[in-house]
Amino acid sequence: MFSVHNTYDAQHETEALVVGIFNQNHRLDGIIGELNEKLQDQIMELIREGDIGVKHNQISKIHTFQQVGAKRLFFVGLGKKDVLTLDRLRESLGHLFKSIKASKLEKITVAIDTFCADYISAQDVAYAVGETLPLSTYQFADYKKKSNEPEKHIEAVSVITEDDQAETLASLKVGYVYGQATNSARTLVNLPGNMLTATDLANYAVDLAKKYNFDYEILEKEEMEKLGMGAFLAVNKGSTEPPKMIVLKYQGKDEWTDVIGLVGKGITFDTGGYSLKPKDGIVGMKTDMGGAAAVLGAMEVIGELRPDQNVIAVIPSTDNMISGDAFKPDDVITAMNGKTIEVLNTDAEGRLALADAVTYAKHHGANYLVDVATLTGGVIVALGTDTTGAMTNNEALYEQLLEASHEAGETVWQLPITERDKKRVRNSQVADLNNSPGREGHAIMAGTFIGEFTDGTPWVHLDIAGTATVSSPHALGPAGATGVMVRTLASFVEVFEMNEK
């Protein structure tokens, strides 16, 4: 897939040569200057005439008429050099790869050094190329009747750089792992609920475990009953599909200590139960397992890169359906840790499933917890659809998660948990907790409820209800699932490992 060279001459068979071009008074140097000279000053002329754009996200293509090795030249407008960031670079590369895909090219060469800026090294560019390629060209294999004509994809990417070739190749491959794992999560979220049951999700996790030599455990309903997982099992009561508590264990250290617990909500379809969602709100509820997909995507990265860290992944998976056996408002249920819960809203089911999953992660030795869930519409009201909401009981742990989110380019914003919030979720005349204190501060109430099951273990909650999907195509992918938090979680493990050392 990837190869690295230090001269362009080695790439005479490429279908396209890609260069980055800054808006800097049209000075042409380096490889762009050489190309301009070979093309008899035509590049400079096309820039002056505006046929080659230098503004951010402008993609221009010219044919070389065999005057240089590449058949085509792609110019990626980067804007002003002093404002280029990794996020802006990803966006530009996303537009580039979409354009190349539309041109049905299979072999390309990227001049890495032409994208470098003050705060963007050759290694940063290589990583971004590897990561952005799969992200921007991802397409869900839908169920429409297909043409017999095979679709062309980018199959070989060569890069040229004056930087260390081995390090550049490593950066390309790591970025590609992150991008591919995010796409794996996207595919899981995009699958219809009838094609991704809890059993299907468990089978996927087992295949992942076997591929990467993880230890794994799939708890069945009878085992959960013996363990007293009444909160999670209540959500499953209306379903004909058996629930699964999915556990993957990766041991990157000699001793099972300093264990990070990643907990992902795996509700494969959410009707809302007897607190039934309206007809418009129920469409799209196949995506309510976005947290589980994020955790599984992060475990894919971990399996590929093998960090020196211990990680336990726990995913409670079921659908939330209506039947004569389904749980109801006013029911009182008992969670695995012995706390009783008054059910005021059966559509607040994700926090019930996560309550037992968090307890079970601790049972497996998790010393730090991060849960991810498409949990509340309230977080969308608060933060919109571009920002993931976060809550925590440990600022130091949150700061590490925040650093990872910056690296991944996934925006996270912290919401508070106050003593008054805790009193609201503890306000019940018949139980220790209630699962839905009301609409005010809805996202905060959900996170606060989950926090009641951490018992002081350092914990971060991520509500991805607004960021798990998008309604229209964007530079890094199509409409549909985003795979959000895969890269943040995987990067978090890396950041945590570095800080521990």
Nearest in space to 234 (alpha carbons), one of 482, 431, 396, 81: 431
**C-alpha to C-alpha distance for 348 and 67, rounded to whole angstroms:** 64
318 within 8 A of 267, measured Cβ to Cβ: yes
Q: Could you identify the residue written with the tokens 């996170």?
A: 447
Catalytic residue, from 277, 328, 422, 426: name it.
277
265 is in an annotated binding site: yes
Continuous segment of H or E residues that includes residue 33: helix 30-38
- Residues near 146 by Cβ (< 8 Å), separated by ≥ 6? none
User: Is 142 labelled a binding residue?
Assistant: no
- Strand-pairing partners, residue 107, are 156
Catalytic residue among 351, 362, 424, 487: 351
501 part of the active site: no
- CA 159 – CA 109 distance, rounded (Å): 5
SS3 assignment, position 148:
coil
φ and ψ of 429, to 5 deg: -85, -10
Question: Does the annotation flag 421 for ligand binding?
Answer: no
- Residue position matching structure tokens 């095979």: 150
Q: What is the DSSP string of 180-230?
A: HHHHHHHHHHHS-GGGS-HHHHHHHHHHHHHHHT-EEEEE-HHHHHHHT-H
88 is catalytic: no
Q: Is 342 annotated as a binding residue?
A: no
DSSP classification of residue 321: -
3-state secondary structure of 497: helix
Cα–Cα distance measured from residue 283 to residue 438, given in angstroms and rounded to the nearest whole number:
23
Quick count: other Cβ atoms within 10 Å of Cβ 61? Answer: 16
Only one residue has tokens 């799209």, namely 284
**Is 270 annotated for ligand binding?**
yes
Residue pair 452/479 in contact by the 8 Å Cβ criterion: no
Burial of 43 (0-12, 13-18, 19+ CB in 10 A): buried
* Known binding-site positions for Mn(2+): 265, 270, 288, 347, 349
* Known binding-site positions: 265, 270, 288, 347, 349
Instruction: Tell me which residues are annotated as active site.
Output: 277, 351
